[in-house]
Every structure is written in structure tokens, then in C-alpha cells.
Amino acid sequence: MQQILDPDQRFAFGQSTRRQAIFDAESLLLDPTRGVQHSLRCALYDVGHKLPADAFRHWSLRTPLRDAFSILMQTRDALCIGEACARYFHHYDETGRYLCTLRPGSLQLLFRLAAEWRVELHYLTHIGAGAAARLLDVYGLQHFPRSIITPEQQCAPGIRLPLMEHLIENSGQPPSSWLLLSDHPCELLAAQRLHLRAIALGYGRAPLPTLCELRPSAIAASVADVSACLGTFLHAAPAAEGQRVH
């Protein structure tokens, strides 16, 4: 269930002094607004509705999808909402995922990680090998990850946790050499259990109070904040638990 981009160096971690970073390109680097809006429009069209002209005036990506469709369709009918959600996921998987934009500073962060800080990057996702490779290619990111950690075919997001644990347990590297960059609460909770340093992505979809409760090493409000956190972690004393970077 693991795809390694450089098979000649499979699990050569024990011979490396580099830090290892686990990330999801979609959470860390991409602004999904365009892809989400496109998928919403297509899903509504499929079920016989039009997107209101002012639909995104007060839009929040943190709005639960079922709630969003209930508002946009002006219905509480569970079957109608369920059909719209299914159409949304179809369109997002097929097209929307590849219509997103890179967040400001994303490429600079990757260059610093790979070149200046010599961190090996491991792209963790549940979307499957083909979709993960396509996503990296579309956004020009294909040369940065050391590995793609994903099932062969798309699975439910819950598969990410055992994949992450398997990667760490079989790496030969101590927990102190690993860093998690994530907005997934379950992964941040697992980082505590596995004694990993973690930066919570406060610009992702998880509510900020939830991230604070998980007490990560830091909470970053932007890609630039992630870079600042990493500079501190990799070149200075460990940051205090629960630090939030502004």
C-alpha cells in the first residue's frame, strides 16, 4: 500500500541523518476554493439546481458539506442532500482536485525543506496512487516528495492513520527525527501517541478550537507560518507545547 518514488533507496532511512516530514499536499500547499466551487456548481446542476449568484459571498470552506447543500438547495430532504453530496465528491475527484491553486509561499517552502534544511518529504494521502501522482504533476510538485504513501486505489480518509504508523514503525528512525504537518485531528492525536513533533495547519478545514485542544507543537495560520515554525524547530531549541505562530 506504499508507493516509493525512489525504489533504489527503499527504507534507507536508518543510514540518513535527515529529518523526515509527513504532509498532505492538499492540506499544506493548496487552496481548494476554486475546486470546491466548481464541484458545487456541477453537483447542483446534476440534481436540477442552480448555484445562487451570491452563494460564495459569505462562504466558508469549513461549512459541513451537507449543511452547505441544505442551504443552497433550500431543503432538509436527506435523500436530495445525499445525492448532491455524492455528485459533489464525483466531480471533485474527477476535476475539482486539479483546479485548486497553490497557496502563496508553497514552492518556496518546499525548496527550503528539500535544499536548505535537507528534510525528506513523505506525501500521505488516501486518494490512491494514480490520483496522487496526477496531483503532484498538475501543480509541479512531482520532484519534491521522497515517497507517496497511499493505497493503490482511493479509500476512506481513515486509511491514512495506519499508513502513517506503518511508515514510521518501519523506517528505522527515532520519533525525534519525524515531523507531521497536518490539519487532520486524528493524525495530530496520533502524533502525540507516537511522540512526534507536529505542526497543525490552522488554515485547513479543522476548526481552530479543535486544533488547540490537541496541543500540537505549533499552530500555523499560513504557509509562511509553517516555514517560520520549521526554521525554529530545525535550527533552534524545541518550541513550547501549544505554541501558536502569528
Q: Check whether residue 114 and residue 85 sit in a common domain.
A: no
Domain boundary among 98, 119, 144: 98
Please give the grid coordinates belonging to residue 175.
Answer: 520519533
How far, CA to CA in Å, does 190 sit from each of 4, 141, 154?
Answer: 23, 27, 22
Domain with residue 71: its CATH number is 1.10.150
Per-position DSSP letters for 214-244, written without gaps between them:
T--SEEESSHHHHHHHHHHHHHSSPPPTTEE
Determine the distance from the C-alpha atom of residue 120 to the mean position of all C-alpha atoms in its chain, rounded to a whole number: 17
Q: What domain range includes position 214?
A: 2-31+102-244
H or E stretch covering 133: helix 129-138
Residue 238 DSSP symbol = P
User: What is the distance between the alpha carbons of residues 157 and 206, in angstroms, rounded to a whole number?
Assistant: 14
Per-residue pLDDT of the chain (246 residues; tens, 9 = 90+): 444 444 333 334 444 567 899 999 999 999 999 999 999 999 999 999 988 888 877 667 888 999 999 999 999 999 999 999 999 999 999 999 999 999 999 999 999 888 878 899 999 999 999 999 999 999 999 999 999 999 999 999 999 999 999 999 999 899 989 999 999 999 999 999 999 999 999 998 889 999 999 999 999 999 999 999 988 877 643 333 344 444
pTM: 0.86
End-to-end CA distance of the chain: 37
